[in-house]
């Protein structure tokens, strides 16, 4: 394969890849992360025994907060 073809494919891949923009602000009790858990702790549910090591990009609950049924992060006392 010619070098020009390799360069063309590389540039095409970079340009075509979707760009993930960082949100300007996360909801209350959440923080933006580029490699968060795919298995967040949830109100009324035991911690997952096994979870994928997949990174999840976006807002997630701050440490000490749990995800409730409406998608808000609350302290355990408010579950």
- What's the whole-number average pLDDT of the chain? 81
pTM: 0.66
Q: 12 lies in a domain?
A: no
Among 34, 38, 31, 29, which residue's Cα sits nearest to residue 78? 29
Q: 67 lies in a domain?
A: yes
Contact between 42 and 53 under an 8 Å Cβ cutoff? The reply is: no
pLDDT tens digits along 40-73: 999 999 999 999 999 999 999 999 999 999 999 9
Q: For the chain, what is the domain count?
A: 1
The DSSP output letter for 78 is G
Q: 51 lies in a domain?
A: yes
Q: 52 lies in a domain?
A: yes
Band of the pLDDT at 18, cuts 50, 70, 90? low
Separation in Å, CA 3 to CA 7, 8, 9, 10, 66 = 6, 9, 10, 11, 51
Q: 7 lies in a domain?
A: no
Domain range spanning residue 65? 22-78
Q: 30 lies in a domain?
A: yes
């Amino acid at each position: 394969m010619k070098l020009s073809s390799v360069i063309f494919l590389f540039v095409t891949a970079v340009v075509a890849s979707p760009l993930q923009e960082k949100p300007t602000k996360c909801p209350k009790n959440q923080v933006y992360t580029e490699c968060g858990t795919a298995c967040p702790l949830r109100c009324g549910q035991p911690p997952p025994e096994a979870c994928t090591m997949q990174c999840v990009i976006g807002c997630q609950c701050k440490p000490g907060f749990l995800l409730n049924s409406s998608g808000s992060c609350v302290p355990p006392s408010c579950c």
